Structure formats: structure tokens, C-alpha cells
Chains A and B, each alone.
Chain A
Amino acid sequence: NAGVTQTPKFRILKIGQSMTLQCAQDMNHNYMYWYRQDPGMGLKLIYYSVGAGITDKGEVPNGYNVSRSTTEDFPLRLELAAPSQTSVYFCASSHSRTGVTEAFFGQGTRLTVV
């Protein structure tokens, strides 16, 4: 029972480099999310998806891109990494039920941009 799997767990990037954070879920959830967590700031929604082929911006989308070609996978792309993108990134998924949003989170990816 894997749940939500994120890779890699840790990564150091140089300014201007790009990378893709991988996220996969095996619960057949239609909703998937990317959050970033900064100290004292809580979790901020970057992008979310309500199903394969459908994505939308969250609160802090600048500098990121996503795609959702399958129900299981929701990769997050960082283009031209900047120090401000140093953060812990969490992927989550949930099953759509009216009035209930139980999100299941992955273990996170700690990204440092130097």
C-alpha cells in the first residue's frame, strides 16, 4: 500500500538549472496537488489537478509547471531554478467527495537552490 510516492527525497540545484519532481499515487484519486512548505508559512498550493488532462494554478504558481497525462502521475517542473524556490515540496492526492477533502501526502522533496 504505497499511497503517494515522491522522488527524489533530496536535491540540490544550481541557480538556472531545471528539474522535475515526480509524484505518483496508487489510490485512483482524481485530485492531485503540489504544495510547498516554508518555515512559519504553512503549506502553499502551487498547482492542482482535478483529473487527467486538467490542471489549474494555485496560490504560488510562478516558476513552476505541471502536467497530468495519467490519473496516477503528477510531475512538477521547475524551470530556471531560483534561491526563492528552496523549500520542501509535498505532493498530495484526494478522492472527490462532496464536502470532504481528505488529502493524502507524500513524504516530501527537500530542494535547495544554490
Chain B
Amino acid sequence: QQQVKQSPQSLIVQKGGISIINCAYENTAFDYFPWYQQFPGKGPALLIAIRPDVSEKKEGRFTISFNKSAKQFSLHIMDSQPGDSATYFCAASYHEKLTFGTGTRLTIIP
């Protein structure tokens, strides 16, 4: 049973464009929704996170949009740069246990 579904599996975006990654969850008890960024050969690192009582959170070029009624949340990367090329994981947390999506490999092309 996959509790957090992530799409797309891979994404190619031109430099300067908007990258959008979507996630959907099933367990309404989840109370914290982070996004992690992972570069090859490295461990995931927290990028941005949101609580379910907020519909949007923005940090620089990264924005999380959260739709509690639809049980969906998404990551938007504005003005995408080659340095943003990485694998992105959405996650959901309950009682300090993180459940991860399957990941999106993002490639930013010139």
C-alpha cells in the first residue's frame, strides 16, 4: 500500500521554466509534509515543508501548494536552474515517521 503517490517519475524543464511535481496522500492523520532534494551520491536534504493548516508556503524560488480536501500537495520551482537538477521526494509525516513518495528525477536543460 503506497500511502504517498508522486508524479511524474521524471521531468525535463528548460532553464528559466517552472518545474511542477505532484503528490497525493491517503492517510488524513499525516500532519507535516516536507520535500527533500537529493543529489547523486548524497543523502536527501530537507528543501521546504508545510503544515496542513496552511495552503501555500514559499521560500525563494520554491513553493509548496497544499490542498487538504483533495489530499494533494505540489512543489513548484520557479525560474528553474541547472543547479536544481536532482531527485525530489515528497513525504508525509505522522508521529515523527516519514513516508516518502517514489521520487522525481528533475533535469534542467539550457
Contact = CB atoms under 8 A, between A and B. Distances in A.
Interface of A: 4, 31, 33, 35, 40-45, 48, 50, 58, 90, 92, 94, 96, 99-108
Interface of B: 6, 9, 31-32, 34, 41-46, 49, 51, 89, 93, 96-103
A90 B96 contact: no
Given A42-B6, A101-B34, A101-B93, A107 B43 contact: yes
Contacts of B6: 42
Of the listed residues A33, A99, A100, A103, the one surrounded by the most CB atoms of chain B closer than 10 A to its CB is A103
Nearest to B53: A99
B55 to A, nearest CB: 16
Contact of B98 (A45, A50, A108): A45
Contact of B42 (A41, A96, A107): A107
